[in-house]
A and B are shown apart, each in its own frame.
Chain A
Amino acid sequence: MARMKFLCDAERCIECNGCVTACKQEHEVPWGVNRRRVVTLNDGLPGEKSISVACMHCSDAPCMAVCPVDCFYKTSEGVVLHDKDLCIGCGYCFYACPFGAPQFPQDGAFGLRGKMDKCTFCAGGPEADNSAAEFKKYGRNRLAEGKLPACAEMCSTKALLGGDSDVIADIYRNRVLKRGKGAEVWGWGTAYGKPEKSAAPPAGAKS
């Protein structure tokens, strides 16, 4: 199996927010935390375009690079996850992320943010699969149930595709050939343009 990726087709997204709702419902995400959201460009004007944005599980994830406590890890399927027990809520990942994916549950005095929360590609976290602890901290682990992320599976127009990158790229290529336009995929180059990088730096490299 190749790696897991998200792909959003701006030609198809109708800004229904079904993906946002599916994510909220699936993981019981608290008020104020939006793991996924729909962004519309030129809203209200002819030719407006919408895309669904969440953590893209980048090939060379900047959040992993800047985390001072190294709480991020990447699974063998390329999903970027983190250990909330280690997170100190510094917010560096939020500043580094080009997609604004990291979310913080609190907004209190002295910059108190709470532990970072983000899209897990419905793959949970380091707790035991589908345990109560995992659900409480990271939400449901659909990947361990043999299912894809709820947002992609729920998408009514199939604008949001999620899963094995080879397969979703084929689906999209076929789609573009049939309709003859809309070949550009927003965020794809930013997220997956760099070569795959694991959490561990090469030996002798400076941190």
Chain B
Amino acid sequence: MNRILIAVLAGGCAMVLAGCGEQQSVTVYKQGQYQGKPDTQPWNNAEFKNDRAGWENKIKARTESQNEYVRAGN
């Protein structure tokens, strides 16, 4: 009976004390370096299928279209 009681008490103590243990709950920062999730390149998706040149051409065409001096009639 005593052995069972001791075993139960020991188990109980172990469970209670486990709550006092300290676990790392804060991110370890490397100062000056981005700590978040990695991002993908804008051409690395289903639309451009990793075609960087295609993406750059599309962006360049869009950027140049902001120049109204090269539009028809000028």
Q: Is B32 an interface residue (CB 8 A)?
A: yes
Complex Cα spacing A75 to B38, Å: 10
> CA A73 – CA B34 in complex, angstroms?
6
Q: Is the CB of A147 within 8 A of B62?
A: yes
Q: Is the CB of A145 within 8 A of B37?
A: no
Q: Bin chain A's interface residue count.
A: 35 or more
Cα–Cα, bound, A69→B33 (Å): 9
Q: B2-10, B11-19, B51-59: which lies at the A interface?
A: B51-59
B23 at the binding interface (Cβ < 8 Å): no
- Say how far A124's CB is from chain B's closest CB, in angstroms: 8
Nearest residue (CB) in B for A76 is B41
Residues A199 and B36 in contact, CB atoms below 8 Å apart: no
What are 5 A-B contacts with C-beta separation under 8 Å? A1-B56, A126-B37, A146-B58, A163-B66, A199-B33
Contact of B31 among A76, A81, A171, A207 (CB under 8 A): A207
A85 within 8 A of B: yes
Residues of A within 8 A of B38 (CB): 126
Name the B residues within 8 Å of A164 (CB-CB). 59-60, 63
Tell which of A83, A129, A153, A199 touches B40, judged by Cβ atoms closer than 8 Å: A129
Within 8 A of B (CB), among A27-80: 69-73, 75-77
Establish whether residues B66 and A174, one from each chain, have CB atoms under 8 Å apart when the complex forms.
Answer: no
Binding site for B on A (CB under 8 A): 1, 69-73, 75-77, 81-83, 85-86, 123, 125-130, 141, 143-148, 152-153, 158, 161-164, 167-168, 170-171, 174-175, 178, 199-201, 205, 207
Is B59's CB under 8 angstroms from A129's CB?
A: no
- The prevalent SS among residues of B at the interface is loop
Which of B29, B37, B60, B62 interacts with A153 by CB under 8 Å?
B62
Given contacts A70-B32, A129-B45, A207-B31, contact A146 B59 (CB under 8 A): yes
- Give 3 closest A-B pairs by Cβ, nearest first: A83-B36, A163-B63, A146-B58
B52 to chain A, nearest CB (A): 9
Q: Kindly list chain B residues whose C-beta atoms are within 8 Å of the C-beta of A200.
A: 32-34
Max chain B C-beta neighbours (<10 A), residue from A129, A178, A207: A129
Contact indicator A174/B69 (Cβ below 8 Å):
yes
A161 to B67 CA separation, bound complex (whole angstroms): 9
Q: Which residues of A sit under 8 angstroms from B67, Cβ to Cβ?
A: 158, 170-171, 174
The distance in angstroms between the C-alpha atoms of A161 and B69, with both chains bound, is 14
A21–B63 alpha-carbon span in the complex (Å): 21
Nearest B residue to A73, CB-CB: B34
CA–CA, A1 and B38, complex, Å: 21
Closest to B62 in A: A148
Cβ-neighbour of B60 out of A76, A128, A158, A167 (below 8 A) = A167
